[in-house]
Structure 1
Amino acid sequence: MSIAAFDKLHIFAVMFFMSLVMSVQAPLFTPYAATLGASSVLIGIMMSTGQLANLTGNLIAGPLIDRYGKKLFITLPMVLSGIFFIAHGLVTDASSLLMLRILNGFALAFLIPSALALLSSYAANSKQQGKNMAVYGMLMTIASILAPLIGGNLGSLLGYETTYFFIGITLLFISIYTLGFVADSQSTTSKNSHQKSLTFAQVLALPTVHIILVTGFAVMYIHGVIIYEVPYLAVESGYSTATTGLLLSLMATGTLISLALSFMHRFDPVKRLMFGLFGMSMSLFAIFNDMLTLPVLLFSVGFFFGIIMPAMAIAITDAVAKEGHGRAFGLMSSFYSLGMIVSSFVTGVIRDIVSPYFIAFLVGMIVLTFIGYKKLSLPPMTEPKVYR
C-alpha cells in the first residue's frame, strides 16, 4: 500500500471516530438540558445559538484552511471540543450549558470543512473523488447508526455527566492520534498548485453552488427538526434515552442502505439532490399525518438523506476548483449550520402551536421548487458531471 493510501486511511479513521464520539450526545443533550431547568424554547435557543457559532466559524475556517493547511484546523478544534465536552458534565445550570454550546459550536466549525478539504486533496479526478466521498458517507453513516445506541445506553447506565466526560476524554485521544498520523496533504494535482485560492465571491458566483447551498439548508432544517423532536420524546412521553437512541439509529440505517446503492452514483448529482429532498419532504408529510409508524418514517427520512449527502460533496468538488475547496466546504458547512439554526429556533417556538414536521415539509418543498427553477436556468456547460 502506498504512502498516500496510508495517509487517506488515517484521515478516514479520524473522521469516523470523531463523528462517532461527537454523535454519542445526540439522544442526550435535550433531556440533559431539561434536567437543568431549560424549557423547550430555551433548548431551541441553545441548539440554534450553537449552530450560529458554528456558522460563524465555518466562514472564518474556509480562507484559513486554504492558506495554512488542514491538519492544524482538525487537531486544535478537536482538543478544544474535548475540553468543552468534559465541561458539559460539570455544569449546574442551563445558562452555563448555553455558553458551552456556543463555544463548542465555534470550535467544531473548523473540523468538518478541514477534514473534507483534506480528503478531497487525495483525489486526482472526479472518479476518485466520488469513491472517496462514498467511503466517507458510509463511514459517517455507520457512526450515526452506532452513536445514538451507544449514547442512549451510556446515558441510561452512567448518567449524563459521566457520558459527557467519556466523550471529551475520547476526543482528546483522537486528537493525539491525528497529530501523530494524519498528513497535511497538498492537492494531488500539482500543476495547479501555483494558482491563487478562489475568493468567497468567486465561489458564490458559480451557478451550481447556489443549488448546493440551498439544498444543504433544507436538508439540515429537516435534520434539525428530527434531532430536536425525537429526543424530546424522552421528556414528553417518558421514553428512555436508549429508546430515542434506537429511533435515531433506524434513521441512520436507512442512510446506510441508500449509500450502498452504488448505481446511484451514475446519475447527475443535482438530480439526486432533488430526488432525495422530495423523498425527505414527503416522509415528513407522512409523519405529520401519522400515515405510518414513526420508526418506518424515520428510516425513510434517513434513506433519502443518504441519497443527498454524497451528491452534495461530489457536486461541490465538480463545481469548484481545488484551490477553492476550503472556502467551498466552509460555505457548504455554513449553510448546514444555518439550516440547523433556523430549525432549532423555529421548532422550539412553534412546537406547541403547529407541528414542526409540517413546517419542515413546507421548507423542503419551497427549496425544491427553487432548485427546479434554478436548474432549468443553468447553461448546459455549467451542468454537473454525470458519473458512469
Structure 2
Amino acid sequence: MKETTIEKMYIFIIIFFITLMMRIQVPIFTPYASILGASSVIIGIILSATSFTNLIGNLFAGPLVDRIGKKVFITVPVFISGGLFIAHGFASNSGQLLLLHALNGFALAFMIPAGFALLAGYAKNSHQQGKNIAINGILTTTSSVIGPIIGGILVENFGYETTYFLIGSGMMLTGLYATHFLKERAEIVRVSKGNQRVQSVSLLSVVTAPNQFIIYLAGFAVMYIHGVLIYEIPYLTVEQGYSTVTTGQLFGVMGIGTFFTLSLLFINRFNPLNRLMVGLFGMSLGLFVLLTSSLPLAVPIFIIGLFFGLIMPAMATAITDNVSKDVYGKAFAVMSAVYSLGIIASSFITGVVRHIISPYFIAFLVGMMILTIMGLGRREKVNAPIHKEKETRLIS
C-alpha cells in the first residue's frame, strides 16, 4: 500500500512540473508571436494548428498507450517538448513559430492520455478515481496559478528568448526525473466466458457509447471557453499595453478559483454528469458577467475558474465510470482530442471575428447551446457502458 502511494506521488509530481512549464508560457506566447510579426489572425492560425496536431497525436496515442504502455509516452515526449521550447527562443519569424508550436502540440498529445491512464490504474472504485483526479487537479491548478505569474516575471527580467530556454530546460529535467522514478502499472484486461479476451474497442465505439457523447460535448464547450481566454487575455498586452506580469496575474486569479473548488473534495461524491452541467452553466455565467457588467476583469475570470475546477475532475470521473480500464488510453485520448478540437475552433474563430463581434459572446452561446443539448440528452436514460465485464489482472 505504501509503495503504491509513493508511485502515485511520482505521477503527481511529474504532471505538476509538466503543467507548470506549459503554464509559464501561456501569457508570453501571444505577445512574443506579435513581436515576430504575427497578426491576430496569424496567432489564431498558430494556436489552431497546434491544437490540430495535438488532436492528431491524441488519436494516435490512445491505441498505442493501451497496447505498449504509459511510461514511454510520458518520458519521450517530455524530452522532445523541452527541445522544441528551447527552439522557440531562436525563432525569427511567425512561420518558424508556427512550425515549432505545431510540432510541440503533437509531442504533448501523448503525455496527457498516458498520464491520466496511468493514474487511473491506481483507483479501485469511482470514489478513489475522483479523489485521485481531484488531488491531481489541485496540484496542476497550483501550477496554473503560479506558472503564468512566473512567466510574466521571467519575461520582464530576462526577455522572451531566455524564458523559453528556461521552460525547455525545466521540461528536460522533468523528463530525467520521470525516466528514473516513473513505474509502469501492471496490465489489466477484461475476460468473458471461457477466459477469452474481449475484442478490442474502437475509438468510434468509445465516442458513441451511452452518456459518453454528452461528456465529450461538455469537454468541447469547456475548452472552447478556455481557448478564448487563452487567446484574449494575453492579447491585452498588445492592444491595451498591459504587462505580461498583469496578464499572468489574471490567469493566476482564474487558477485560484479553480483551486478553491478542487479543494472541496466532498464534491466528488456527487454525480459527475450533474457536476459537468452545473460547471458549464457557471462558466457561461462568468462569460455573461464579463460581457455585461463593469466589474473588474478579475471578477468574472475568478467565477469562470471556480466552475472550471468543478468540471475537470468530473470529466475524468465520468469517463472512467463509463468505460473499463483496458480502454482508458483510448477514452482519455478521445478526451484530449475533443479538448484540442475546442481550442482549434475557439482560436481560429476568435482570431477571425474579434474585430467584428466579441469572442466572449460566441463562447457564451457555445456553452449555453451545448448545455441545452446535454440537458435533452440526460432525459434519455441509457445504461450500456463499454465492456463492464469482470476485471482480472493478467497472471503470468
Alignment TM class, shorter chain as reference: over 0.9
1:343 equivalenced with 2:346 (yes/no): yes
- The superposition leaves residues 52-75 of structure 1 with CA deviations (integer Å, 9 ceiling, x where unpaired) of 000000001000000000000001
Q: What residue number does 1:319 align with?
A: 322
Checking the alignment, whether the CA contact within 8 Å between 2:223 and 2:339 is kept in structure 1 is yes
Q: 1:28–1:89: structure 2 CA closer, same or farther, 3 Å change rule?
A: same
Equivalent residue number for residue 24 of structure 1: 24
Contact 2:190 2:198 in 1 (8 A): no
Q: How does 1:282-321 map to 2 (within 5 A)?
A: 282-321=285-324
Structure 2: segments with no counterpart, 5+ residues = 386-396
Q: Deviations over 1:215-241 (max 9, x none)?
A: 010000000000100000011111100
Residue 265 of structure 1 pairs with residue 268 of structure 2: yes
* Conservation of the 8 A alpha-carbon contact between 1:195 and 1:323: no
Which deviates more from structure 2 when the two are superposed, residues 117-126 or residues 372-381? 372-381
Q: Which residue in 2 is equivalent to 1:371? A: 374
CA distance in 2, matches of 1:377, 1:43: 41
Contact 1:81 1:107 in 2 (8 A): yes
Task: Give the gaps of 5 or more residues in structure 1.
Answer: 383-388
Whether the 8 Å CA contact 2:44–2:348 is kept in 1: the answer is: yes
Opposite residue 221 of structure 1, the aligned amino acid is Y
- Taking the TM superposition and a 5 Å limit, the aligned residue runs for 1:156-235 are 156-187=156-187, 195-235=198-238
Q: Contact 1:152–1:245 at 8 Å: present in 2 too?
A: yes
Query: CA separation in 2, counterparts of 1:270 and 1:221?
Result: 19
2:379 match: secondary structure? helix
Separation in structure 2 between the aligned mates of residue 141 and residue 307 of structure 1, nearest angstrom: 12
Q: AA paired with 1:19?
A: T
Match of 2:56 in 1: 56
Does the Cα contact within 8 Å between 2:127 and 2:268 map onto a contact in 1? no
The structure-2 alpha-carbon separation of the partners of 1:290 and 1:55, relative to structure 1 and needing over 3 Å to count, comes to same
Using the TM superposition, give the Cα deviation of residue 197 of structure 1 relative to its aligned residue in structure 2, in angstroms.
4.1
Aligned equivalent of 1:243, options 246, 267, 274: 246
Q: Which amino acid aligns with 2:335?
A: M
Q: Which residue identity is paired with 1:84?
A: L
- Residue 126 of structure 2 corresponds to 126
Instruction: Write the deviation string for residues 226-267 of structure 1: whole angstroms up to 9, x where unpaired.
Output: 010000001111110000000010000000011112232121
CA–CA separation in structure 1 for the residues paired with 2:226 and 2:270: 24
Q: Deviations over 1:296-350 (max 9, x none)?
A: 1100000000000000000000001101100000000000000000000000000
- Name the residue aligned to 1:361: 364
Give the conservation status (yes or no) of the 8 Å contact 2:188–2:325: no
**Aligned equivalent of 1:87:** 87
Residues 374 and 281 (structure 1), Cα distance of their counterparts in 2 relative to 1, 3 Å cut: same
CA RMSD of aligned residues (A): 1.6
CA contact (8 A) 1:124 1:188 kept: no
* Equivalent residues of 1:48, 1:341 under 8 A apart: yes
In structure 2, the residue matched to 1:148 is: 148
Q: Is the 8 A contact 1:62 1:329 kept in 2?
A: yes
Q: Distance in 2 between matches of 1:125 and 1:272?
A: 18
State TM-score, norm by structure 2: 0.94
Q: How far is the alpha carbon of 1:285 from its aligned partner? A: 1.3
Relative distance call for 1:106 and 1:162 in structure 2 (3 A) is: same
Does the CA-based 8 Å contact 1:145-1:249 persist in structure 2?
yes
> Aligned residue for 1:385?
none
State which drifts further: 204-213 or 166-175: 204-213
Note the 1:96-111 alignment, pairs <5 A. 96-111=96-111
User: How many residues were matched structurally?
Assistant: 382
Aligned match of 1:386? none
Cα gap change, 1:299 to 1:118, in 2 (>3 Å): same
Q: Does the 8 Å CA contact 1:82/1:171 hold for their aligned counterparts?
A: yes
